[in-house]
Structure formats: structure tokens, C-alpha cells
């Protein structure tokens, strides 16, 4: 990259020919998309579709996650000019990654929302692409999993979070960001013995058989040991990866609905994700970024970097299994 490239490079999200290439336009200007990827509603030849789900209804404390997708896209412009650090694959050059825009839904018709999400993701999967979703509160993962299981069958869930989200709730129509993985186990969407929750630091009486690596274990055993343990549990099983930004300590991600002290640092999280290279990941999401509670945008920056790691994990897996 030369700094002078910005003199002629602009609006790549709308003007790029095809899907591949870095973007050297000014980070503070231009048409927004995640990592300046080509914006399209045509998924022919797309490997991975990045899509926003700006839903903010089910949180138990602070609102604002509906603004998460926009904030993540905005700060991702700082990453669009270089290959992702620490990887031997560059999805911006080696894969067809597109920004598919946001889910359309009636904000006043909450009961219709879950099906809208499932249909949206099913459309992406039916086109032959994978999805990388930018949330939105964490409830969105539940209807996303319903779409994935239609195609892949029951999945391993790799969840980075401060909370287990397995509090009991047998009302499957109820929209709540603290009960959806209880429901996912009940519906047979995930295989609990092949699933892992990382970063947990709140009490839940029933983890529904899901393996837990709590925050203290991460801090005491180190990231290398955590990665080894995750791989030993999941093996080669097809995996959906969900990252609640409150997995990070509020010092690194203050802008979230339910912050909990004692969490992972952004460095720990990124090291774990990077070292999971080879995970049989079929899709993922980053959720709970709430920009109104972080004037410095550190939370969105963390979210954008996590999303980039998920993109790399997905594209590496796709390349190695082609």
C-alpha cells in the first residue's frame, strides 16, 4: 500500500469489479461495507456473505446493539488495506467475500422476527455461500442455527461469552438473549458433548451438557492450552462459532448490553481464534456490540477484528476441504 493510492481509490464497495482485492481508500470516507467488500444481493460465486442483523429487543440490560452492524462496518475500514495478520490465507484476495447488506424485518412485529432471520440465512446457504453475521443481540444465533441445521444437521457450537445463555425457558416462541442455547439443545440443533463455551464467568445451574472453559481457566492455563482443549472436544465436527463481545473484559469492550468484569483480553481472544485454524467452521457471528456505551469505539474495533478472524477461519476451512 502507498498512501498516495487513496487519491484515486474510493467507493470500492460499489465500484469494484468482482469480489477480490484490498481497498486503499481513505478510512474516513467512501461507501461502507465490511472490510470494503463488494456490496451485492447476487450471491452467485460468493463463498462467504457478511450480513448485518440489527436486532435489539431481547437484552436484559442496556440496549443499542441494533447499531452494532453499522459500527463494525465503519471501523473495519482500517483493516481493508492489508492481509489479516498472522494468517497464511488472505480472504480478501483468495476468496469471494461479499457484503450482503442487512436483514429486512418489521421492527414492530417481534413474533415474526425469528422466522425472518431463519429465512434470510437459508437464502444465503441455499445459494452455496456461508454466512458471517454482525449483530444485533445474541438471540439472533438461535434462528440462525435453525437455518444451518436444515442444511448440515446438528452442529457443534463454539461460544465465546460471559454468560452460558442456557437458563431454562420452554416457551420456544419467547425472544430472550439468555435462554436460546437451552432451546437449541432442546430442539436438537447442537450436539452439547461436542460444544464448548469459552470465557464464562456467571452462574447457571444447568449448562445443558455443554463443555465450559471459564474465564479463570483461560487466564490460568493460557491460550495454547485452551485451543488444545477446544480441538479435543470438537474434533472434526461441523461447527458454528458465535462470539458475544461481552466475552471480553469491559476494559477492552465496554460497549455491550451486559458487561461482566474478569473477562478475556482482546489479545487472548484473537490468539485463540487464530490458533483454531483448521476448525471445521461452517458459519459464525459477532454479537452484542452496543456503540452508545463506548464513545471511543473500542468495542466495535474488537468486533471488527473478531469478525475478520471468523472470516479467515471459514475461508481457510473451505480452502483446505475443497
One digit per residue, pLDDT tens: the chain, 322 residues? 556 677 888 999 999 999 999 999 999 999 999 999 999 999 999 999 999 999 998 788 899 999 999 999 999 999 999 999 999 999 999 999 999 999 999 999 999 999 999 999 999 999 999 999 999 999 999 999 999 999 999 999 999 999 999 999 999 999 999 999 999 999 999 999 999 999 999 999 999 999 999 999 999 999 999 999 999 999 999 999 999 999 999 999 999 999 999 999 999 999 999 999 999 999 999 999 999 999 999 999 999 999 999 999 999 999 999 8
Q: In sequence order, what are the residues at sequence separation of 6 or more whose Cβ sits closer than 8 angstroms to the Cβ of residue 8?
A: none
Domain CATH code at residue 159: 3.40.800.10
Q: Is residue 147 part of a domain?
A: yes
Q: Is residue 82 part of a domain?
A: no
Is the backbone of residue 173 left (phi > 0), alpha (psi -120 to 50) or beta?
A: alpha
Q: Using DSSP, state whether 29 is helix, strand or coil.
A: coil
Quote the CA–CA distance of 125 and 151 in Å, as a whole number. 8
Closest CA to 289 of 243, 251, 221: 243
Q: Is residue 239 part of a domain?
A: yes
pTM of the predicted protein model = 0.97
Q: Would you state the pLDDT for residue 2?
A: 57
Q: In what order do the strands lie in the sheet with 130-135?
A: 97-102, 48-53, 130-135, 281-287, 239-244, 156-160, 196-200, 211-214
Q: Would you state the pLDDT for residue 63?
A: 92
Give burial (CB, 10 Å; 0-12/13-18/19+) of 48.
buried
Q: Is residue 94 part of a domain?
A: no
Q: Would you state the pLDDT for residue 1?
A: 53
Closest CA to 305 of 72, 68, 24, 65: 72
Contact 184, 168 (CB under 8 A): no
- Check whether 161 is labelled as a binding-site residue: yes
Q: Structural domain of residue 242, as residue ranges? A: 42-66+102-321
Q: Would you state the pLDDT for residue 6?
A: 78
Q: Is residue 249 part of a domain?
A: yes
Contact 46, 19 (CB under 8 A): yes
State how beta strands 48-53 and 196-200 pair: unpaired
Closest CA to 138 of 122, 115, 160, 121: 160
Report the 3 state secondary structure along 270-294.
HHHHHHCCCCCEEEEEEECCCHHHC
Quote the CA–CA distance of 205 and 38 in Å, as a whole number. 45
Query: How many domains is the chain built from?
Result: 1
Measured at the CA of 112, the angle between CA 107 and CA 116, to 5 degrees, comes to 90
Quote the CA–CA distance of 107 and 46 in Å, as a whole number. 29
- Check whether 45 is labelled as a binding-site residue: no
Report the first-to-last Cα separation within the chain, whole angstroms.
31
- Residue 114's Cβ-side half-sphere holds a number of Cα atoms within 13 Å equal to 16
Q: Is residue 124 part of a domain?
A: yes
Q: Is residue 189 part of a domain?
A: yes
C-alpha distances (whole Å) from 116 to each of 39, 53, 66 are: 21, 10, 16
Contact 176, 198 (CB under 8 A): no
- Check whether 138 is labelled as a binding-site residue: yes
Q: Is residue 31 part of a domain?
A: no
266-275 and 223-234 helices, crossing angle to 10°? 40
Quote the CA–CA distance of 38 and 32 in Å, as a whole number. 10
- Check whether 165 is labelled as a binding-site residue: yes
Amino acid at each position: 500500500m502507498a498512501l498516495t493510492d487513496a487519491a484515486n481509490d474510493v467507493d470500492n464497495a460499489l465500484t469494484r469489479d468482482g469480489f477480490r482485492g484490498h481497498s486503499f481508500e481513505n478510512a474516513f470516507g467512501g461507501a461502507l461495507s465490511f472490510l470494503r467488500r463488494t456490496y451485492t444481493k447476487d450471491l452467485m460465486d460468493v463463498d462467504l456473505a457478511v450480513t448485518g442483523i440489527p436486532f435489539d429487543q431481547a437484552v436484559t440490560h442496556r440496549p443499542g446493539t441494533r447499531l452494532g452492524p453499522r459500527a463494525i462496518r465503519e471501523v473495519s475500514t482500517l483493516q481493508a488495506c492489508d492481509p489479516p495478520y498472522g494468517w497464511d490465507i488472505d480472504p480478501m484476495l483468495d476468496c469471494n467475500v461479499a457484503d450482503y447488506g442487512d436483514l429486512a424485518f418489521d421492527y414492530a412485529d417481534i413474533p415474526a422476527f425469528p422466522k425472518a432471520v431463519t429465512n434470510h440465512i437459508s437464502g444465503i446457504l441455499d445459494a452455496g455461500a456461508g454466512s458471517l453475521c454482525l449483530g444485533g443481540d445474541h438471540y439472533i444465533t438461535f434462528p440462525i442455527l435453525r437455518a444451518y441445521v436444515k442444511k448440515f444437521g446438528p452442529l457443534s457450537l463454539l461460544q465465546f461469552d460471559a454468560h452460558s445463555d442456557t437458563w431454562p425457558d420452554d416457551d420456544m416462541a419467547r425472544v430472550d438473549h439468555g435462554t436460546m442455547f437451552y432451546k437449541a439443545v432442546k430442539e436438537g440443533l447442537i450436539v452439547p458433548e461436542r460444544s464448548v463455551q469459552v470465557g464464562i464467568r456467571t452462574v447457571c445451574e444447568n449448562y445443558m451438557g455443554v463443555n465450559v472453559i471459564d474465564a479463570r481457566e483461560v487466564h490460568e492455563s493460557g491460550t495454547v492450552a485452551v485451543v488444545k482443549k477446544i480441538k479435543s472436544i470438537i474434533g472434526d465436527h461441523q461447527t458454528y462459532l458465535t462470539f458475544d463481545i461481552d466475552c471480553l473484559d469491559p476494559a477492552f469492550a465496554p460497549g455491550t448490553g451486559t458487561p461482566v468484569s474478569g473477562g478475556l483480553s482482546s489479545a487472548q481472544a484473537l490468539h485463540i481464534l487464530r490458533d483454531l485454524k483448521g476448525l471445521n467452521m461452517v458459519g459464525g457471528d459477532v454479537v452484542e456490540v452496543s456503540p452508545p456505551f463506548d464513545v471511543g469505539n473500542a468495542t466495535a474495533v474488537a468486533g471488527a477484528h473478531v469478525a475478520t478472524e471468523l472470516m479467515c477461519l471459514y475461508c481457510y476451512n473451505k480452502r483446505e476441504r475443497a
